[in-house]
Amino acid sequence: MNFAEAVIEARESGRVEVLIDQIPYAQMIGVQGQLVGDEALFLLPSNKDNVGNPILPALHGGVIGGFMETSAALHLLLFMDRPKIPAIIDFSIDYLRTGQLRNTFAECQVHRQGRRVANVAVTAWQTHRDVPIATGRVHFRL
């Protein structure tokens, strides 16, 4: 199955894992996704391989950033008008709290999608949606 077919299959079946299986990095860190109505929720399960500071233990900032970036791309693929691989123009992240060794969730919101560029906001949290560990903004070229 090629990438465009995986996007269409994920949209039609609601099985986000069909699309995640096409992204090796998402598989490596363990990203999971679920469509909830017209929204998507992404999960990074607790995994010791994703720890950056074993003393705390705390998730590696790059893993948190990679999870958020991947979530934004997946969200855009699931909800944009035509299945096309978005290319990242820039990614800005604010780390707000330590990412502890527990499940991490992310939700995205497309602020604007034009013909050439899309702007996606991402929020990552662990225990409560109202207490984010990081927020980010991603610009994609379509």
- Contact (CB, 8 A) for 44 and 104: yes
b/e string for 109-137 if b means 16 or more Cβ within 10 A? eeeebeeeebbbebbbbbeeeeebbbbbb
Q: For residue range 21-74, list pLDDT tens digits in order.
A: 999 999 999 999 999 888 999 999 999 999 998 988 999 999 999 999 999 999
Whether this prediction's pTM lies above 0.85 is answered by yes
pLDDT at 4: 83
Q: For residue range 70-125, list pLDDT tens digits in order.
A: 999 999 999 987 777 899 999 999 999 999 999 999 999 999 998 899 999 999 99
pLDDT at 94: 98
Q: Would you give the distance in Å from CA 12 to the centre of its chain?
A: 20
60: region left, alpha or beta (phi > 0 left; psi from -120 to 50 alpha) = beta
Q: Say if residue 3's pLDDT is above 90.
A: no
Domain CATH code at residue 110: 3.10.129.10
Measured over the CA atoms of residue 14, residue 88, residue 136 and residue 52, the dihedral's sign is positive
Measured over the CA atoms of residue 10, residue 85, residue 106 and residue 118, the dihedral's sign is negative
Q: What's the CA gap between 8 and 65, in Å, rounded?
A: 26
Structural domain containing residue 46: 3-141
In total, how many domains does the chain have? 1
